Chains A and B, each alone.
Chain A
C-alpha cells in the first residue's frame, strides 16, 4: 500500500510530469490551417488518431511531409496550435506533393505507411486520386500574378498534374482554377515564379474520404 509520504511524493512527480507534458504539447493556442498529407481525416479526427511517428514523412519519396513545429512553420507564418505540434504537414512553397508519380508501389506511400489510419489508404490511380485526395484548393491572387499584370507566364498551368482540368490557361495565360477538380497538391504554388507566390493552396480542414 502507499504510505502518505509516498503518495505525496508520487503526486508531486505526477503533477510535474503532466505540466512538462502540457508544455511540450503546445498549450491551448488556436489551431493553424495547415496542409495535411493526402488521405488525411478531418482535422479533429486526424489529430486524435495521429501518433506523431513520422512514418509518412519517411515514406514520402518527395520528402515533402515535415513535422509541424514552430521552426518548420515559421517560414510560412504558421504556428502549431493545440495538439498540432509534430503532426505531419506539407508546406507546398518548400516542397509540394508529387502524388508519388514515378515512384514504385500501388498506393500513395504516406497513406500506406500510416500505422493508425489517420491517413486513409489511397490507390495510385488518377481516378482514386481525383476522388479521394483533398488537401486544399489553389487560389490565384490577380494582384500578384504576372499574367494579370500585363505579362504572360503560365508556369503554374504547366506544373498542374490535372493540367487543363484543375488549372486552365485563359487569355494571356491567366490561370483559372476549377475547385471541383483541384485536389490541392501544391505543385502550382511550388512552381510559381512570383514571390510572394501569386497562386497558393488554401488547406481543406474538412477533408474526408
Chain B
C-alpha cells in the first residue's frame, strides 16, 4: 500500500492563486482609476482608439471587458450604448493598494497603517475602525495569514528564496546564511509606534515593503498613462523611484546574505500580525504518532519555525509549506488554540526504510509542489 498518498488538496495552489490575485490587483487598481477617469469624462472610446495596438489601449480594452461582465449593454434607451453609469458605480468599488484598499465596496486597511495613524493623531475615528474590522478578524482567527497568503512581498521573497536555492547548483556559489534575532521586529514596531505617538510623524509606512510596492505600482501605471496622453504610448520603465531600488536591495540581500531576514527579523507589520495572531484558532498541528521525525518541515519553514518540534507559536503565518512538504501527512490545519502535538492513527509502517526513502528529499529537492509521495513496496505491513 502507499504509505503517503499525495494530498488531494495541497495548500500551495490555493496560496499561490491568492498571492497572484493580489499582484494582479496591485496593478489593476490604478488602471481602474484611470479607466474610471476616462469613462467619467466620456473619453474612453477616443483613448482606446488613439492607443490602438499599444499596451495602454489593450489594458483599457481588457479592463472595459472585465468591468462590464454581468452588466447588460444599453443606457438611456439606446441598446448599443455602453452602460456607463453602472460601470462607473462598479469600478468605484476597486481602488487602493495593499496598504489600504476598497475591494468590491468593502474598505480594508492594514492594521499597521491604522495603528500608526491612530498613534500619530491620537484619534481613532469610526472610518478607521470600520476598515480594520475584517483584517483584524482574519488575523485573530487565522493568524499571520497576511504575510503568508496576501502580502505581495511574500511572493517576491519566495522568488528570492528560489533564486537562492539555484546559486549552489548553477554558479557553485554558497550564499551567506546570516541569522538575526526574530525579536528585533517587535522592538522596531515599538520604536516606530512610540515615535508616532510622540512626534505625530508616521515613519513605519516609509519602509514597510507592501506599502512601498503599492505606491510604486501606482506611480508606474499613472506615469505610463501620462506618457501615453503626451503622445508616447507603449511600455517603458517610468514612474519608479527609490522605493523600487530599496525593495530590490532587500531581495538581493535575501538571495545572497540572509534568507527571509525581512519577514523574520525586521518587518514591523509581521510583528504586529504575530502579536494579533498569537491566539489564533487555525493552527498547523502535528500528529505525533504519524510523524517520522525527518525534520523536512523544519527546513522548509519560511519563517524559521520548527513544526516538527511543535514550536510554532506566534511567527507561523499558516502558509502551509510544511504541510505540503511532509512526506507522511503528519501535519495539517486544525481548529485549536494550542500548537501541542496531537495523537493520530499511526501509519502502517514507520521504519528505517521509510526514513531512508524520504531522506534524500533535502529542502533544495522539495519543490513548491510539495514532496513527491514516498512509496513503499507493495505488500507492506498494514
Contacts and interface: CB of A to CB of B under 8 A. Distances in A.
Interface centre among A10, A102, A103, A118 (most CB of B within 10 A): A10
A49 B96 contact: no
A73 interface: no
Contact of A45 (B40, B96, B121): B121
Nearest to A83: B201
Contacts of A69: 241
B97 to A, nearest CB: 6
A55 B207 contact: no
A114 B30 CA distance: 16
Interface in A36-80: 44-45, 47-55, 57-63, 67, 69, 71
Contact of B120 (A9, A17, A18, A48): A48
Contacts of B204: 21
A24 to B, nearest CB: 4
Q: How large is the interface on B (under 10, 10 to 19, 20 to 34, 35 or more residues)?
A: 35 or more
A79 B243 CA distance: 18
A83 B187 contact: no
Contact of A49 (B120, B207, B246, B265): B120
A6 interface: yes
Contact of A10 (B205, B206, B241, B265): B265
Nearest to A86: B215
Contact of B183 (A2, A22, A48, A61): A2
A115 B109 contact: yes
B180 A53 contact: no
A44 B123 CA distance: 13
Contacts of A102: 40
B30 A58 contact: yes
Contacts of A50: 117, 202
A109 interface: yes
B88 A104 contact: yes
B183 A17 contact: no
Interface centre among A7, A49, A103, A113 (most CB of B within 10 A): A49
A196 interface: no
A85 to B, nearest CB: 8
B131 A61 contact: no
A13 B206 contact: no
Interface in B28-70: 29-30, 32-34, 36-37, 40-41
Interface string B190-203: 01000010001111
A202 interface: no
A116 B114 CA distance: 7
Interface of B: prevailing SS: helix
B97 A54 contact: yes
B203 A53 contact: no
Contacts of A193: none
Contacts of A67: 215, 218-219
A25 interface: yes
Nearest to B39: A61
A60 B33 CA distance: 8
Interface string B94-105: 011101111000
A59 B92 contact: yes
A82 interface: yes
A51 B116 contact: yes
Contact of B95 (A6, A14, A83, A113): A113
B99 A53 contact: yes
Contacts of A116: 109, 113-114, 117, 121, 125, 127-128
A63 B242 contact: no
Nearest to A45: B121
A141 B122 CA distance: 41
Given A10-B184, A59-B92, A52 B211 contact: yes
A71 B243 CA distance: 14
9 contacts: A24-B242, A25-B206, A48-B196, A51-B205, A53-B99, A53-B101, A57-B218, A86-B215, A103-B88
* Nearest 7 A/B pairs, CB to CB: A58-B95, A53-B100, A48-B121, A117-B125, A10-B184, A58-B33, A48-B120
Given A48-B200, A54-B96, 18 more contacts: A24-B207, A47-B201, A48-B117, A50-B202, A51-B100, A51-B109, A51-B205, A51-B211, A53-B99, A53-B211, A54-B97, A58-B30, A58-B218, A83-B202, A86-B215, A103-B40, A104-B85, A116-B121
